[in-house]
Structure 1
Amino acid sequence: MKPGIHPVYRPVVFRDKVGGLTFLTRSTLVPGRTTEWQDGTTHPVVDVEISSASHPFYTGQSRVMDTAGRVERFHRRYGTQHS
């Protein structure tokens, strides 16, 4: 690797705002805030909007789309044309 051109790769804590999940991994992100991890060390922290703790696919709280209503509305608006 060429020296001086790569970003610093260091431990960073990612915290889900909604689900409350926190995990420590390595990243090149440079957040402004820090937090204390479970072992007492201080690491930079990145707040994320969604993770596996709050994503509907992983939590089983998926929403059902009303596709039948959309199709009917399309046919009312544009009509049905047969070739």
Structure 2
Amino acid sequence: MKANIHPHYRTVVFHDTSANEYFKVGSTIKTDKEIELEGETFPYITLDVSSKSHPFYTGKQRAASSEGSMARFRHRFGGFLDAKRS
């Protein structure tokens, strides 16, 4: 391997601010912020969304309408279509 071309890989703490959860993950991301967690100092990155707060992963995702687009169209404009056929 060539020397000095690979980014520095280390443990980084990611903080999901919306769920107030902390994740320790190996990463090459660059940051100047640091946080002390469990008696050790780690680089620190804040996140708006993670698997702990995203609606898809938490099961709080809004369900799509069970009615399809054609059914909605016929519901809205079905009277016009039936009147034209007569």
TM range (shorter): 0.7 to 0.9
**Amino acid across the alignment from 2:46:** D
- Distance apart, 1:66 and its partner CA: 3.9
Given the alignment of the two structures, is residue 62 of structure 1 paired with residue 61 of structure 2, yes or no? yes
Contact 1:14–1:46 at 8 Å: present in 2 too? Answer: yes
Structure 1 vs Structure 2 CA RMSD: 2.5
**Amino acid across the alignment from 1:8:** H
Corresponding residue for 1:27?
27
Measured against aligned partners, the alpha-carbon deviations of 1:32-61 in whole angstroms (never above 9, x if no partner) come to 2110011x1111111112111101122111
Paired residue total:
77
- Distance apart, 1:5 and its partner CA: 0.5
Given the alignment of the two structures, is residue 47 of structure 1 paired with residue 49 of structure 2, yes or no? no
| CA distance in 1: counterparts of 2:55 and 2:25, whole angstroms | 23
Contact 1:20–1:53 at 8 Å: present in 2 too? Answer: no
- Considering fraction of residues, name the structure with more helix: 2
**Amino acid across the alignment from 2:13:** V
Superposition TM-score, scaled by structure 2 size: 0.72
| CA distance in 1: counterparts of 2:6 and 2:44, whole angstroms | 21
Higher gyration radius (CA)? 2
Percent of residue pairs bearing the same amino acid type: 39
| CA distance in 2: counterparts of 1:67 and 1:48, whole angstroms | 33
Partner SS, residue 56 of structure 2: helix
